[in-house]
Structure 1
């Protein structure tokens, strides 16, 4: 029997609190207006949403809270309930805790039970990996409707009392780049009006013999090392490498589907930062599609970003439209993407 087509019914997202602009960020960390101008010029991210109180450093929400909100919105938009879901997959690099798995806490919040659940530990390609895993399981015929989640709360890694002026550039840049958020999508073998067919998903590790571009430590009370940064990023390596990898993903997706760049109606590029996204899109050289970008307003929310883009994309797609999304993870260099077509 032929494998069923997999359809994307809806997307939903959640962002914590009000947007935090660069002036507020600079003021909290005691940086001058030159740092604020540096963010505007070289990072290109204007605002982000944070799951911590900048004044106190106390968390306001957890990843479970954000995923619950996003999942609930996605199900509501699809016209489904928790009882319709028989598979849940979450991609994140910042789970709330090692155990219980965050995906199971989200399922409980949503009233989902007696189903298969999976949690993937990955950076910015984790959402695409989660989509791919759900797609493969749905195609195998054992499940019919999957809730796919992705999100990150990066702000919990940073100490709001940190003196940024004392940090190395690879540590300081993360404070400007990242925001917090979560997203969700509903995949099914049972299409609805205006659903989009998920025609291909690509994920590939290409990090053999390459130094990590980003490192995120997991410290415990017994191994906390104040001389080792909790988070660091080789921004120069990322700036040089990610646009090339993004163009490779786009070409591979198009070649595999027999599509030309001119066939694309929408492009969802990697969302590293406002400035980096501009460089990436230029390198991808797709002539006509409408670009779906949100990072300048949301910050880099990691595994939430593809869903933030999908939530903006789906209402705009009409019959015959084609869209390609690309994601790149710099931690150990993973390239990923997916293609959609509305019938």
Structure 2
């Protein structure tokens, strides 16, 4: 019997666009206020990509930092996976564009679209490639320019999202790494959170902004997300024979501070053991978990050997978790 192989996070990286849009800035052109946004979401500001700055641009910067942290050259990569719902173009994939920029030509490269759960889904796929022995070094990225998809007159959605990218380099390890991943979806709830336009569906002439809208039933999404994340937390702990107090750090999708607090309560974790960036980043969709992870690593809070629980929930609905020994 062959020895067990783990996918270990060897390095992390992230990138945020230079432009910062505060709640007060938003209040200048949409009916809202800093207090209204903070009370409901915990968000104070978000980063917005500059004109001409694409998802691949953000992904490239995050990836180069992750590769440097891991001590891995791009030419050594066996696979690149980009989790995104805002690709530069329909095809080639953002992963292929990124592969060329990094000089990793020849390795496999593809995108994963699971909305805000995109990074967790991509991480799970990369982990399986390493466990199977098909790959030894994998670059996994979560990157988004959600600002390009927003109706900036709709205060129920435009206040929530921001742009950014995070990346990790996975390497094969005989000792430890990602212990388990758990993925779920419920396509029957599509109408609660979606973008109504695509290539096959097309555009309705009378809906000029159809392609740049995020449509969301906020209260319904909140309720479903809390229940789904509760369930996947229990599933993850049970699968690994762990108790709630065994987790060192919760690194959640940064969508809403109230959802984060509800998940922390479920784990019996104090908020000082939860990585929170939603106040400064907003919801960066697939970028949020790797952004938060990289900040936690580089700040020195997350240390080698600690047990981390990553989780996310997004449109689809999709949700999932990853438990890993960092």
Residue 307 (structure 2) pairs with residue 322 (structure 1): yes
Question: Which residue of structure 2 aligns with residue 254 of structure 1?
Answer: 237
User: What is the CA-CA distance between 1:158 and the residue it aligns to?
Assistant: 2.8
What stretches of structure 1 move > 4 A for 4+ residues in a row?
219-222
Question: Which residue of structure 2 aligns with residue 167 of structure 1?
Answer: none
Query: What RMSD, in angstroms, separates the aligned Cα atoms of the two structures?
Result: 2.2
User: What is the CA-CA distance between 1:226 and the residue it aligns to?
Assistant: 4.1
User: What is the CA-CA distance between 1:139 and the residue it aligns to?
Assistant: 1.3
Residue 4 (structure 2) pairs with residue 19 (structure 1): no
Kindly report which structure 2 residues correspond to 1:71-150, keeping only aligned pairs within 5 A, or say none: 71-150=63-142
Checking the alignment, whether the CA contact within 8 Å between 2:16 and 2:165 is kept in structure 1 is: yes
Length-normalised TM-score, structure 2: 0.90
Cα distance in structure 1, aligned partners of 2:96 and 2:276:
30
Number of equivalences: 318
Question: Which residue of structure 1 aligns with residue 46 of structure 2?
Answer: 48
- Partner SS for 2:255: coil
User: What is the CA-CA distance between 1:322 and the residue it aligns to?
Assistant: 1.1
Cα distance in structure 2, aligned partners of 1:105 and 1:210:
32
Partner deviation per Cα, 1:276-296 (whole Å, 9 max, x = no partner): 4334433x2423571111111
Checking the alignment, whether the CA contact within 8 Å between 1:11 and 1:183 is kept in structure 2 is: yes
Cα distance in structure 2, aligned partners of 1:133 and 1:219:
25
Cα distance in structure 1, aligned partners of 2:178 and 2:34:
40
Cα distance in structure 2, aligned partners of 1:286 and 1:256:
18
Ranges in structure 1 where 5+ consecutive residues have no aligned partner: 53-58, 165-170
1:287 to 261, 269, 275: 269
Kindly report which structure 2 residues correspond to 1:154-233, keeping only aligned pairs within 5 A, or say none: 154-158=146-150, 164=153, 171-190=154-173, 197-205=177-185, 207=186, 209-218=188-197, 223-227=203-207, 229=210, 230-233=213-216
Checking the alignment, whether the CA contact within 8 Å between 1:126 and 1:303 is kept in structure 2 is: yes
Question: Which residue of structure 1 aligns with residue 37 of structure 2?
Answer: 39
Q: 1:130 to 1:308 in 2, by over 3 A?
A: same
Cα distance in structure 2, aligned partners of 1:216 and 1:222:
12
Ranges in structure 2 where 5+ consecutive residues have no aligned partner: none
User: What is the CA-CA distance between 1:37 and the residue it aligns to?
Assistant: 2.6
Q: 1:280 to 1:319 in 2, by over 3 A?
A: closer
- Partner SS for 1:143: coil
Q: 1:60 to 1:209 in 2, by over 3 A?
A: closer
Question: Which residue of structure 2 aligns with residue 153 of structure 1?
Answer: 145
Cα distance in structure 2, aligned partners of 1:279 and 1:296:
16
Cα distance in structure 1, aligned partners of 2:287 and 2:202:
31
Q: 1:224 to 1:14 in 2, by over 3 A?
A: farther
Checking the alignment, whether the CA contact within 8 Å between 2:251 and 2:308 is kept in structure 1 is: yes
Residue 285 (structure 2) pairs with residue 306 (structure 1): no
Partner deviation per Cα, 1:206-234 (whole Å, 9 max, x = no partner): x1643532111335797244447422111
- Partner SS for 1:124: helix
Cα distance in structure 1, aligned partners of 2:82 and 2:304:
30
Q: 1:196 to 1:25 in 2, by over 3 A?
A: farther
Length-normalised TM-score, structure 1: 0.86
